[in-house]
Amino acid sequence: MKSLLAALALSTALSFPAVAMAKPVTLSATLRDYGGNNAYLAVYVTDQNNNYVGSLWLAGSRTRYFEHLSGWYNATGGDSSQINGITGASVGSGRTLEVTLDLKDALFDAGYKLHIDAAAENMRESPNDVVVPLTAAGAGKPVKGRRYISSFTYKM
């Protein structure tokens, strides 16, 4: 059910011409064993000019912590309507977040970037822990994160 809600929210957040096709894409972020509280993760997309396009997923539900996902928060003003239907639990140290979403084909090989901001209570924030261009060639290739994320991949 969450996958369906995420797909519906995503198609609204990242709208393109009605003829655009979409494909299921699995996002997988494995966290380092950093030994702290569960991390909040904001997954969102920017265009070739680094302008916010839309939110894909937010791991964590307490809005009071959203401001610590500073890249996403600054882009959206913390607007929780950006994430209605596309949220899940925060992610524990050493654990993996895996989400499958339908992403528009027009996002790939067109200069769009996927960002993941991360934060854990009583620890440092990590805006842009992962930034990866959305390309067909990049699918399946692991990317290292800066602080909380050990490895990130997307598969089509």
Overall number of domains in the chain: 1
Distances (CA, A) of 98 to 85, 104, 152, 154: 16, 19, 10, 9
Question: Domain range spanning residue 78?
Answer: 2-155
pTM beyond 0.85, yes or no: yes
Q: 133: domain CATH number?
A: 2.60.40
Cα four-point dihedral sign 135, 139, 144, 149: positive
Per-residue pLDDT of the chain in tens (156 residues, 90 and over written 9): 444 334 444 444 454 444 569 999 999 999 999 999 999 999 999 999 999 999 999 999 899 999 999 999 999 998 888 898 899 999 999 999 999 999 999 999 999 999 999 999 999 999 999 999 999 999 999 999 999 999 999 999
